A and B are shown apart, each in its own frame.
Chain A
Amino acid sequence: MRIVAEHLSYTYNPRSPFETAALKDVSLTIEEGEFFGIIGHTGSGKSTFVQHLNGLLRLPSSMKKYRPKKPKKGQTLPPKTVLTVGEFDLTDKKTDFRALRRSVGMVFQYPEYQLFAETVAEDVAFGLKNFSETKLSEEETAAAVRAALEVVGLDYEEMKDKSPFDLSGGQKRRVAIAGVIVTRPEVLVLDEPAAGLDPLGKREIMELLHKLHREWCRTVIIVSHDMDEISENCTRAAVFSEGTVRYVLPPRELFCHAQELTAMGLDVPLTAKLVSLLHERGIDIECDFTAADFCEKVLAYAAAHPKKERDEGGEA
């Protein structure tokens, strides 16, 4: 499902002292099949944007009603807001939001805090039961829960009757993710999926997301503060700042703008830092900012520019 947003704006607490414009005229397209990253400082509007994708935040219903059909003399119509996720038109309040939520899975920050049921199987089945159109038989539910648990790397037989509160942190997070993907969403959105985990747990979660991307959900969108995570994993990334989208680029181009990103209060990946530090020393490395490629390019540079002592080989 392709996600298209054009001229999307959103204001919290409109017409009150706490009025804040969280999104200002945002246009962004996420293609089907991407592993998309969303970056931004706290309060940049990234969560507000993401919450539009499954209709948790909706465009004000008045938007269509009061939109003048024809511009008055001397006036130009404000640009039309578009927000579609696949065939769902989210500007239309007649859209079937339940069907939308079935196909756009949303994993919030620290999803393990949202576990609530008595057993893992019940917890995972909750979303499935609530979002399905027809009443599912017990066998159907069990099969779907089994598949979801297995894809996140948990053993169904071992897990199903356990209390989700008796699991370790990493397992809890996997159960929570299973509870979202059990509806087989086409788009999976995750807010800070690796936050609060130790480095090993982080790596495992990112591996899981790649697996899901390959086998389960066509499109994966992650919101992250960890630039290394973005540079290592994403096909493209959007940078939010003060309610607008500043860049939508693949990481290898995005992190060439290291200075601008730093000015926005964002970090850059370690590799980008190293590239600019080396640049100051007169060494120009061009890489895609993944650790593997960076090392390869540095080694290639070293081979092409060996130290003076053993210079006789030259370019060979």
Chain B
Amino acid sequence: MICRSACCGTRLGSSMKAITFTDVSFRYEDEGPYAVRHLNFSVEEGEFVAVLGHNGSGKSTLARLANGLLTPDEGTICVFSTQLGEKNLYDVRKNVGVVFQNPDNQTVATIVEDDVAFGAENVGLPREEIGKRIDFALKAVGMEEYRHATVARLSGGQKQRVAIAGVLALMPRIVILDESTAMLDPRGRREIVDGVTRLNREEHITVILITHFMEEALLADRAVVMNRGELVMEGAPAEIFERREELVTYNLALPRIGIICEKLRAGGMNVGYTLDAQELAKEIAECVS
């Protein structure tokens, strides 16, 4: 179990909000278009939320707003009922860990354990505590055998897991993955998605997974779709995928299995829209003798 006494009083209310965006707007340039516009969005503690959207839909801006890398032009953001402001930025960041897209841009040390320790060292934790946290973090991402390995010699998926471990060493209560799987091969992607799913289920860490792969959103409790800085769809992942026409209007291409379902239906075969190959095979089998 994760020790949360280090930061923020533990208030294990049944449905505490982890992050709340209230009417948040943000734009990168004064006269430019809004990257995020009048966004109202909240995540419960312990929830696993997937944020979908095409490039430029504002989903990465959302991640950067959530841990104070960007400050909203309008509206407020609360993390565990603390309103984000200049004074508490560092405290909030201990609670909200963000993992970015490119693994090579996120590793700072040459040896895995040093890299994982980097964040924890920066907040000035005692030495023994850092050791414990490295143990915990590497175990959580399944990289304990690589503790003394050279970061440069790891695969992309492994590096990304080290980056996640570095975030976990700060024992955040929220982990945001901002397209952290986009640069990985299919196996690396699965490693990461399985890893964070486990963190969510076993360590009860709130996970926000930002992605443009619909398949990855399947494991989430809830999925939201962003388009032009606005939240346009929300619901259980399976429900969202049923609303195909709508998804297409938001420039989200269907995953390949969705295309196959669609073609089979167009050909008169009565299969449902599923994202699971097993399920589709079963349905096809039921349609033939």
**Which of A's residues lie within 8 Å of B, judged by CB?**
41-43, 110, 168-170, 195-203, 225-226, 228, 265, 267, 270-271, 273-274, 277-278, 280-283, 291-292, 294-296, 298-299, 301-302, 305-308, 311
Q: How far does the alpha carbon of A277 sit from the alpha carbon of B257 in the complex, in Å? A: 14
| Sample of 29 A–B contacts (CB below 8 Å) | A42-B155, A42-B185, A43-B155, A195-B183, A197-B55, A198-B55, A199-B252, A199-B254, A201-B55, A203-B253, A225-B186, A226-B186, A265-B187, A267-B187, A270-B257, A277-B277, A277-B281, A283-B284, A292-B263, A294-B260, A295-B260, A295-B264, A295-B267, A296-B267, A298-B269, A302-B269, A305-B289, A307-B288, A307-B289
Min CB distance, B158 to chain A, in Å? Answer: 9
Say which residue of A42, A201, A283, A295 sits within 8 Å of B285 (CB atoms). Answer: A283
Q: How far does the alpha carbon of A195 sit from the alpha carbon of B186 in the complex, in Å? A: 11
Min CB distance, B244 to chain A, in Å? Answer: 13
Tally inter-chain residue pairs, CB-CB below 8 A: 99
- Chain A residues within 8 Å of B54, by CB: 198, 200
Min CB distance, A195 to chain B, in Å? Answer: 6
Q: Which residues of chain B (153-206) have a CB below 8 Å from chain A?
A: 155-156, 182-183, 185-187
Whether A198 lies near B281 (C-beta < 8 A) is no
Q: How far does the alpha carbon of A271 sit from the alpha carbon of B259 in the complex, in Å? A: 11
Whether B285 lies near A291 (C-beta < 8 A) is no
Whether A301 lies near B288 (C-beta < 8 A) is yes
In the complex formed, the residue of B with least CB distance to A279 is B281
- Chain B residues within 8 Å of A298, by CB: 264, 269, 284
Say which residue of B187, B254, B285 sits within 8 Å of A278 (CB atoms). Answer: B285
B82 in contact (CB, < 8 A):
no
**Which of B's residues lie within 8 Å of A, judged by CB?**
54-56, 101, 155-156, 182-183, 185-187, 212-213, 251-257, 259-260, 263-264, 267-269, 277-278, 280-282, 284-285, 287-289
Residues A308 and B263 in contact in the complex (CB < 8 Å), given A273-B277, A274-B277, A298-B269: no
Whether B287 lies near A307 (C-beta < 8 A) is yes
Whether B260 lies near A306 (C-beta < 8 A) is no
Q: How far does the alpha carbon of A198 sit from the alpha carbon of B256 in the complex, in Å? A: 13
Whether B288 lies near A306 (C-beta < 8 A) is yes
Whether B55 lies near A168 (C-beta < 8 A) is yes
Q: How far does the alpha carbon of A270 sit from the alpha carbon of B259 in the complex, in Å? A: 11
Min CB distance, A251 to chain B, in Å? Answer: 14
In the complex formed, the residue of A with least CB distance to B259 is A291
Q: How far does the alpha carbon of A306 sit from the alpha carbon of B269 in the complex, in Å? A: 11
Min CB distance, A224 to chain B, in Å? Answer: 9
Min CB distance, B191 to chain A, in Å? Answer: 12
Whether A283 lies near B288 (C-beta < 8 A) is yes
Residues A308 and B289 in contact in the complex (CB < 8 Å), given A170-B55, A291-B259: yes
Min CB distance, B251 to chain A, in Å? Answer: 6
Q: How far does the alpha carbon of A198 sit from the alpha carbon of B281 in the complex, in Å? A: 27
In the complex formed, the residue of A with least CB distance to B282 is A281
Sample of 8 more A-B contacts, CB < 8 Å, known A283-B284, A283-B288, A299-B264:
A42-B156, A198-B252, A271-B260, A291-B256, A294-B260, A299-B269, A301-B288, A302-B284
Q: How far does the alpha carbon of A165 sit from the alpha carbon of B217 in the complex, in Å? A: 31
Q: Which of B252, B263, B278, B284 has the most chain A CB atoms inside 10 A of its CB?
A: B284
Whether A299 lies near B183 (C-beta < 8 A) is no
- Chain B residues within 8 Å of A198, by CB: 54-55, 212, 252-253
Q: How far does the alpha carbon of A271 sit from the alpha carbon of B284 in the complex, in Å? A: 13
In the complex formed, the residue of A with least CB distance to B280 is A274
Whether A196 lies near B101 (C-beta < 8 A) is yes
In the complex formed, the residue of A with least CB distance to B188 is A42
Q: How far does the alpha carbon of A64 sit from the alpha carbon of B155 in the complex, in Å? A: 35
- Chain A residues within 8 Å of B55, by CB: 168-170, 197-198, 201
- Chain B residues within 8 Å of A291, by CB: 256, 259-260, 263
In the complex formed, the residue of A with least CB distance to B156 is A42
Residues A295 and B263 in contact in the complex (CB < 8 Å), given A201-B55, A225-B186, A273-B277: yes
